[in-house]
Chains A and B, each alone.
Chain A
Amino acid sequence: MEFFKNTNYDFLGKKWPFIGLSLLLSAAGIISLFAKGGPRYGIDFRGGALMYVKFAGTPPVDRLRKAIGARIPVDVQEIVGSNEVIIGTEVRSDAALNAARQTMDQTLEATFGAPAGKLDINNTGASELADRLREALQRAPVAMPEQDLQALAKNVLTFRDTPPRSGLITSLDDLAKVQGVTPAVMNVLKQETFPGQFAVRQTEIVGPKIGADLQHQAILAVLYALGGMLVYIALRFEWIYGLAAVIAVFHDTIITIGLFSIFNKEVSLTVVAALLTLVGYSMNDTIVVFDRVRENLRISRREPLEAVINRSVNQTLSRTVLTSGLTFLTALSLFLFGGQVLNGFSFCLVVGILVGTYSSVFVASPIVLFWHNFADKRRRPAGVPAAVKDNARRGAAKVK
């Protein structure tokens, strides 16, 4: 099967509408970034406390806002499609950090947890559960060696944490299926514990200083990586190719971050990892095209550069579409099935692969062409012979 056979589209002839679209998207992203005062950084970069809390049913968002909001300013966000909320608070000083977390913890437990005197089984650890049951079992009396007790506590919690329960037991009766839970043990469990309505799935607390550090380091690492790639490509091709490739990648990053800003999505450390992935994909695409251009230039010295680039893009078109299509499929499956943790990550990839593929053809290639045309024009008044001109075209930097 083949989709493209000896195609001959005039890609560069139609570059203007696409360059216009690129500029429009970039501008929209940049405007949104400026209007909102930069990207919406996640807690990792901004400093603050964040809790992912899962509820048994529809999360009582308003009650949460009221209960916790009465004590500290919070932002309660519902994750659509799951019974989860993200409770976040921005913290400007290190000292307030733990206080904020504790307040969130305590208020949750007081509002939605177990009644006084009982242990909330959805928010406990194995050792705490074992400690709680030890004396009660003795009193019951259920004879149980310490080893069995520890194993029991562990089994109960493992049962609680495996899907489909995923951390939340709604009724203690469910525990009857757990190994070691006899009717007598069940009685003790019912007497000592209670299934609270929520489970804390994830907690992130980042001090403002560390947040700033992380932000700084992530940006620096990406910039150095771009610089490194520029130098390598410049050495393997010509400097303008390196610059064009880096500009194309930069263009993809700007558009993606812009879209994050437009859709009000948070840029977290995981998203940075996704941005790195998209930089990798886009760079890969661009190099494949450039490689072909270099090869074709070697074969046909007399052909104008525009035609050579066009032919190269056409020759690699089948590969470009297939590879991008397949990686896009993978990213899409991650976006659809990957769960909420990977949501920002896969969104970034889905957007990035589309933009990255297109930028190799309509951003990177035109830049190389523009530069060579510009370099030629400057030379032409001097009356350069055709053969030399062609040489110059291929190695403008060296001749200059």
Chain B
Amino acid sequence: MKRNLQIKFGVIAATILLCLFGIFGLPTSLAQVKENFQKNIHLGLDLRGGSHLVLQVQLQDAFMATADVTMQRLQEELKKQGVVLPPMDRNSPATLDDADKIQINVHGVPVDKTSLFRNLVAEQFPDWILTPVSSTDYRMTIKPSEAIKLKQDTLTQTMHTIERKINALGLAESSVQQRGRAEAEAELLVQLPGVDDPARIKALLQEQAMLELYEVKDGPFSSEQEAMAKHGGVLPLNTKLVHAVARDGQASGYYLLAMSPVIRGTDIRSAHAGQGETPGRWETDFVLTQEAAHRFEQFTESNIGNRLAIVLDGSVISAPTIQNRISDTGRITGAANEQEASDLALNLTAGSLPARVVVEEERTVGPSLGADSIHEGYVAGLAGLIAVVISMLIYYRAAGINATLALVLNAVILIAALAYFDATLTLPGIAGIILTIGMAVDSNVLIFERVREELRAGKGVAAALDAGFSKAFLTIIDTHVTTVVSCAFLFLFGTGPVKGFAVTLVIGLIANVFTAVFVSKTIFDWELSRKRVATLSI
């Protein structure tokens, strides 16, 4: 064998070994071969089952919460300076796009305190722009730069909270990422492969789990009208009417609560589910942070005999009477079953979402469909491949073996590349593979037809092979580069599935130039080098 040929075979052998290693690793048993294969080839959600969710973060919630905190702080700071203002209010942006239109209305600033008020806002609340409305009233709007920061922070925080929830559920291989390129895009993409109970997971992720404890001012009332009637049609200052859900012996109704909570979701350190005193009853216990425990202790001490409302995601779930001083623990009773209690514990520990999330898109593939798709795809792929191989062998005889080897090697390289790049194989990815195989067949056909032409023109075997390969090579480069160019655009501008198609196709095309041109030619050269061949089986 010529030295040149030896080097070429070395390159091919090294490539094959590298690919096999990428796909199967270094197995020691037959079972491990299968196991490593499944570990290295990641199947997409559409093939193995699972859920794909796009969650829209309702950023306006975070803006409203920020405005509430600002209002409270501003009142406190002013009080320190000896100025007591009538209650401030804010607007409630209804949609995501209006989130940064949040505004706080300040009323009744005494004219002689104007400069004090203005200085205070400028110094202590630099994130807000103060605009006078009249001599005593002002409007505060959030600075654009601050709005962008708040949006980003809220998104990041939401993402981390959802990540914590998913991790607590023990869902392997799940991912949460921000969707879209623009920073302002308030959407998160959650991928949950292999999840067999998507409805529960979805509910769990959406649960804002905002636990708040409020002082009960009055109630319960059976309806909103009743509550309003009792207070002369106007709610007392700094109070709000909150709906109570029917749960664990509590009838549905309304409570009049203090405007701001004693304890917020962020004050909770940990939570866990446990059996109640009566067996079969489940409850969730939570522990407060040190700072909150101190606050809670003071509050409960001075409010013994009063009622305390436990509010979860905006609804009162129970309103027990404070029996004695409580420091750092609390308990939520009345879960319907163990799962509900432990889900709540998980949510409380993971932390509350800074804003509500709404499911914008869900694609769930049941595990049985995934299994079927793989099976069917396998059968179809195999049937197609066998048909192609048989036709090639009949039409090109011995040269068909070359083509078959090149095809198989192409598929091996493609799968190995997917394993090395940690890419995920999806349905559109399979479309890419099909196109790759089609183009691989085409490359072989192009070359062989060209060689036949050269043979017909009367050239010798070696000369015909050389001419055929080099002429077909130009065409192959043109077709392949054109497709790669289009893939580049698809990758840049396309969404998930389109991208998957582009990636597999590009890998396949590069592999194809190697197998159809280099490998196939090397095999022919080797045949020629063994003996002097007068005719070519093509």
Q: Give the interface of A toward B (CB within 8 A).
A: 1-2, 5-6, 52, 54, 94-95, 97-98, 101, 105, 124-128, 131, 157, 160-163, 165-168, 199-207, 209-210, 214, 217-218, 220-222, 224-229, 231-233, 236, 269-270, 272-274, 276-277, 279-281, 283-284, 287-288, 291-292, 295, 315-316, 318-319, 322-323, 325-327, 329-331, 333-334, 336-339, 341-342, 345, 349
Flag if B495 contacts A214 (CB, 8 Å). yes
Chain B residues whose CB sits within 8 angstroms of the CB of A2 once the complex forms: 395, 452
A229 adjacent to B485 (CB under 8 Å): yes
User: Is there a chain A Cβ closer than 8 Å to B234's Cβ?
Assistant: no
The 8 closest A-B pairs by CB, nearest first: A125-B197, A167-B368, A330-B384, A339-B376, A273-B428, A225-B486, A221-B494, A207-B360
Picked from B200, B365, B380, B431, the residue with its CB within 8 Å of the CB of A333 is B380
CB within 8 A of A270: which of B369, B372, B427, B489? B427
Q: What is the interface of chain A mostly: helix, strand, loop, or mixed?
A: helix
A220 and B495 CA atoms in complex are apart in Å by: 10
Interface of B is mostly: helix
- How distant is the Cα of A319 from the Cα of B476 in the complex, in angstroms? 13
Q: 16 more A-B contacts (CB under 8 A) besides A157-B196, A277-B431, A288-B479?
A: A52-B369, A94-B56, A94-B360, A126-B197, A128-B200, A131-B338, A165-B368, A220-B493, A225-B487, A228-B488, A277-B435, A281-B438, A291-B475, A316-B449, A331-B434, A339-B377
B434 touches A276 (CB 8 A): no
A333 touches B366 (CB 8 A): no
* Stretch in B4-12, B299-307, B440-448, B513-521 with 4+ CB within 8 Å of A: B440-448
Please state if B196 and A125 are interface contacts (CB–CB under 8 Å).
yes
Stretch at the interface among B155-163, B224-232, B386-394: B386-394
CA distance A141 to B105 in the complex (A): 66
Query: How far, in whole Å, are A281 and B372 apart by their CA atoms in the complex?
Result: 28
Question: A290 — nearest CB in chain B belongs to which residue?
Answer: B478
Let me know if B146 is at the binding interface, CB within 8 A: no
- Measured in the bound complex, the distance between the Cα atoms of B371 and A2 in whole Å is 42
B322 interface contact, C-beta 8 A: no
Given contacts A202-B369, A224-B489, A342-B377, contact A334 B449 (CB under 8 A): no
Number of interface residues of B (CB under 8 A): 81
Bound Cα distance from A233 to B477, whole angstroms: 12
In the bound assembly, the distance between CA atoms of A126 and B171 in angstroms comes to 13
Contact A284 B362 (CB under 8 A): no
Chain B residues, CB < 8 A from A279: 486
The answer to whether A218 and B56 have CB atoms under 8 Å apart is: no
Q: Are B199 and A273 in contact (CB under 8 A)?
A: no
The answer to whether A202 touches B364, judged by C-beta atoms less than 8 angstroms apart, is yes
Stretch binding the partner chain, chosen from B63-71, B255-263, B497-505: B497-505
Nearest chain A CB to B456 CB, angstrom units: 8
B426 nearest CB neighbor, chain A only:
A273
Among A204, A220, A233, contact of B362 (Cβ-Cβ < 8 Å): A204
Tell whether, in the assembled complex, residue A319 and residue B446 are in contact, meaning their CB atoms are under 8 Å apart. yes
* Cross-chain contact B428 with A163 (CB below 8 angstroms): no
Which residues from 462 to 509 on chain B have a C-beta closer than 8 Å to any C-beta of chain A? 471, 474-475, 478-479, 481-483, 485-490, 492-495, 497-498, 501, 505
